[in-house]
Amino acid sequence: MAGRPLKTLERVISKAGLGSRVEARTWMHAGRVTVNGRVVQNPDHWVDMERDRVALDGRPLKARSRVYVLLYKPTGYLTTYKDPEGRPTVYDLIEDVGTFVSPVGRLDMDTSGLLLLTNDNQFAERVTNPKSHVPKTYLVKASTRLSDEQLQQLGDGIELSDGPTRPAVVTRVRDSAKYTHFEITLTEGRNRQVRRMVEALGAVVLKLVRVRIGPLAIGRLPIGKWRLLTRAEAESLMPPPSRRAAAGSVSARASKT
């Protein structure tokens, strides 16, 4: 058995891109899932990926292609699958993707901008892991005018409750009579990081838009719309070995805007 590709049934179903793990469990409990023709209701049942035939409603699971979605998230949408309070979520905006994808990191409800979603866990891990140093760039409108020293502080690192922030690239975009607009590029993604950094200066964030992740920008995508990444775009965020592995399987569907 050594080296055999064994996975739990729950994992196999959710990885097939048909639904979340919770949905996979529901289908199993409902008796809709078979392994080699026999109904299996135990989500922890081991499946041998080379030999076992898994089916949902009698239809064999197909090897799924990897899908990478770039969404221009508007404010007012949660980066979660379902909200107990029934508020809008990013899934309301990507119903027509056709494959279950999960957000790569998160944006606050009041933050707009570039959000990636994928069914490729390795890609998501790479983009979100602070060790990868993938830069994320935000446009910020602060509630006061910020001095050069304050912007410098943001760039040098701010002491937050969960430790000092890493050095960041900060550029003043423009000042109005009351506000400063600036751009900040972070290589870590802590909870509400930009908001907390600005609050540490005695101001608050009035508007926050993520405009870039690594080399990817929102470009001309209308707000609330999504498109698939091209193969080259997806590969641009992967380390070299994974780039090769992914090259054959990135979904080649036409972009949807």
Q: Which residues are catalytic?
A: 108
For residues 192 and 110, is the Cβ–Cβ distance under 8 A? no
Phi-psi region of 58 (alpha: psi -120 to 50; beta: other; left: phi over 0): left
| Candidate ranges 7-15, 48-56, 104-112, 118-126; the one touching ligand URA (CB under 6 A) | 104-112
Pick the piece of the chain touching ligand URA (CB under 6 A) from 19-27, 159-167, 175-183, 189-197: 189-197
CB of residue 210 to ligand URA, shortest distance in Å: 6
208 binds ligand URA (CB under 6 A): yes
How do beta strands 163-164 and 159-160 pair?
antiparallel
Minimum distance of ligand URA from residue 45's CB (angstroms): 39
Show the tokens assigned to 15: 């990885």
Q: Do 157 and 165 touch, CB atoms closer than 8 A?
A: yes
Asked if 192 touches ligand URA (CB under 6 A), the answer is yes
Which DSSP helix (H) or strand (E) runs through 64? none
Q: Which of 11, 19, 46, 108 binds ligand URA (CB under 6 A)?
A: 108
User: Which window, 86-94, 117-125, 191-199, 227-235, contacts ligand URA (CB under 6 A)?
Assistant: 191-199
- Using the rule CB under 6 A, which residue among 126, 181, 195, 225 binds ligand URA? 195
**HSE-up of residue 44 (Cα within 13 Å, Cβ side):** 0
Site string for ligand URA, 39-68 (x = CB under 6 A): ------------------------------
Residue nearest to ligand URA (CB): 111
Report which secondary-structure segment, H or E, holds 141: strand 136-142
Q: Which of 14, 99, 111, 118 binds ligand URA (CB under 6 A)?
A: 111
Own/partner long-range contacts of 52-56 (Cβ < 8 Å, ≥24 apart): 54/9, 54/12, 54/13, 56/13, 56/18, 56/27, 56/32
What is the Cα–Cα distance from 35 to 184, expressed in whole angstroms? 51
The three-class DSSP label of residue 23 is helix
Q: Among 49, 24, 8, 189, which Cα is nearest to 100's?
A: 24
With respect to ligand URA, which residue has the nearer C-beta, 43 or 113?
113
Contact call for residue 166 and ligand URA (CB under 6 A): no
Q: Residues 93, 193, 228, 250: which binds ligand URA (CB under 6 A)?
A: 193
* 104 forms part of the interface with ligand URA (CB under 6 A): no
**Residue position matching structure tokens 């091209």:** 230
**Rounded to the nearest whole angstrom, what is the least distance from the CB of residue 177 to ligand URA in the complex?**
25
Taking each helix axis from N to C end, the angle separating 121-128 and 240-247, rounded to the nearest 10 degrees, works out to 150
Whole-number minimum distance, CB 102 to ligand URA, in Å?
17
Binding site for ligand URA (CB under 6 A): 107-108, 111, 192-195, 208
